[in-house]
Amino acid sequence: MLTLNKTLGVLCRLPKWQIRGFLRSFTFRPGKQFLHKLVLGIETSCDDTAAAVMDETGNILGEAIHSQTEVHLKTGGIIPSVAQQLHRENIEKIVKKTLCASGVTPNELSAIATTVKPGLALSLGVGLEYSLQLVNQYKKPFIPVHHMEAHALTIRITNKVDFPFLVLLVSGGHCLLAIVQGISDFLLLGKSLDIAPGDMLDKVARRLSLIKHPAYSTMSGGKAIEHLAKQGNRLHFDFQHPLHYCRNCDFSFSGLQTAVDKIITQKEKEEGIEEGQILSCAADIAAAVQHTVASHIAKRTHRAILFCQQRGFLTPSNAILVVSGGVASNLYIRRTLEIVTRATNCVLLCPPVKLCTDNGIMIAWNGIERLRAGLGILDNTEGIRYEPKCPLGVDISKQVGEASIKVPSLKI
């Protein structure tokens, strides 16, 4: 009722032509009325086929997801053609399930938002092709979504976070630090020079043959490492911290992965076991790797916060660090980052775990944010393409390196 009153109040103040346009954007059917604009979000950039319907106040009306993790665990990594086939088999089911759960028909949607960049070409193609079919059939506006922008803005579903804020995105496919100045206004402070931390943890988990352990066989590599690490002693192994001599906000994980590989091979020899069997020191290795990853991420984030504070990008009243992406669900990494935010008078915010990993809700939300701001809504989809590679925002990482900020050491 309150919402209805508010809406009527706004309507009374609008000129007639705007009221007509406003009312046209809703569908009124006997017995069923949606007061708010509705967006269907579709995500297929990697290995999750996901969809959600959301209204403009952030209510999730329905959602569905099909995860390919188990299949890719068995093949030892994502095979793009397999991911494409699985997206093809599931996309229609997932979208129908989402609409059904929402009680919304395609005609009642205000727009369709879909991830078009960056991601695996074959996976992005399936989502885009299916979305364009819907868009053309139901004559709906289309909102192309940048996957990383969507991850970065997800926090605004659950928390009142104003621009600007700092975001750290860490997952299987990405690793970056950026200042979020607006819905599509980002400044990139640093990114991984090679692989992402989730990818590295997945590879280490595979090399440790954790898939053969019943307790970990269905978990993603990162999650398996986090669980195993709880039983280990990180001090039994000492891995060099990546890029410790570079005073910038870039990341690197492939050197660490090679070092871990070497240790595992050496330990296999010492313990006289074949590759594929689980080492007795696997938990210690997991704990040491997790600690090195957490420290590396924390150090770069600490520098990013100091840079932002030095240049006035983060005001003391709104010094917020948002951490998202699959790796952000790791509690050891979160706690390490908490030490950094406490030392720098920042507030650390993480979306709920379900919203940290890839999902349809974040894409629908990006559609809502864009719809509300009138940004990037296409009535004509001619020439729209997916882009497997697409940087996030304006790259100012060189300025960060030139600032050469020394990060004080913190006890982790």
Give residue 326's Cα distance to chain centre: 7
Site residues (CB under 6 A) for ligand KG4, limited to 33-92? 46
Per DSSP bridges, beta strands 347-349 and 320-324 are parallel
Residue 172 or 393: the one with the smaller Cβ distance to ligand KG4 is 172
The minimum distance between CB 38 and Zn ion, in angstroms, equals: 24
- Binding segment toward ligand KG4, per CB under 6 A, in 22-30, 75-83, 217-225, 230-238: 217-225
The minimum distance between CB 150 and ligand KG4, in angstroms, equals: 11
Tokens matching residue 200: 């590295």
* Contacted by 360, from ligand KG4, Zn ion, none: CB < 5 to 8 Å by type: none
What single letter denotes the amino acid at residue 193? L
222 binding ligand KG4? (CB under 6 A)? yes
- By CB under 5 A, the count of residues binding Zn ion is 2
Dihedral of CA atoms 231, 232, 233, 234 in degrees, nearest 10, equals: -130
357 binding ligand KG4? (CB under 6 A)? yes
Long-range contacts of 260-267, Cβ-Cβ distance < 8 Å, separation of 24 or more: 260/204, 260/207, 260/285, 260/289, 261/207, 263/237, 264/207, 264/208
358 binding ligand KG4? (CB under 6 A)? yes
Phi, psi angle pair for 177, to nearest 5°: -120, 130
223 binding ligand KG4? (CB under 6 A)? yes
Report how far residue 385's alpha carbon sits from residue 124's, in angstroms, rounded to the nearest whole number: 10
Residue 199 or 250: the one with the smaller Cβ distance to ligand KG4 is 199
Site residues (CB under 6 A) for ligand KG4, limited to 268-327? 325-327
The minimum distance between CB 327 and ligand KG4, in angstroms, equals: 4
Residue 119 or 393: the one with the smaller Cβ distance to ligand KG4 is 119
Tokens matching residue 197: 């931390």
Report how far residue 378's alpha carbon sits from residue 76's, in angstroms, rounded to the nearest whole number: 39
What single letter denotes the amino acid at residue 147? H
Q: What is the DSSP letter of 27?
A: -
Range 150-159 burial, b when 16+ CB lie within 10 A, else e: bbbbbbbbee
In the bound state, the residue with its beta carbon closest to Zn ion is: 358
The site string for ligand KG4 over 159-198 (x = CB under 6 A, - otherwise) reads ------------xxx------------------------x
Report how far residue 389's alpha carbon sits from residue 174's, in angstroms, rounded to the nearest whole number: 11
- Binding segment toward ligand KG4, per CB under 6 A, in 2-10, 130-138, 181-189, 214-222: 214-222
336 binding ligand KG4? (CB under 6 A)? no
Site residues (CB under 5 A) for Zn ion, limited to 161-180? 171
Tokens matching residue 345: 């008078």
Q: What is the DSSP letter of 380?
A: -
149 binding Zn ion? (CB under 5 A)? no
284 binding Zn ion? (CB under 5 A)? no
Residue 277, SS3 per DSSP? strand
Residues forming the site for ligand KG4 (CB under 6 A): 46, 171-173, 198-199, 201-202, 220-223, 226, 325-327, 329-330, 357-358
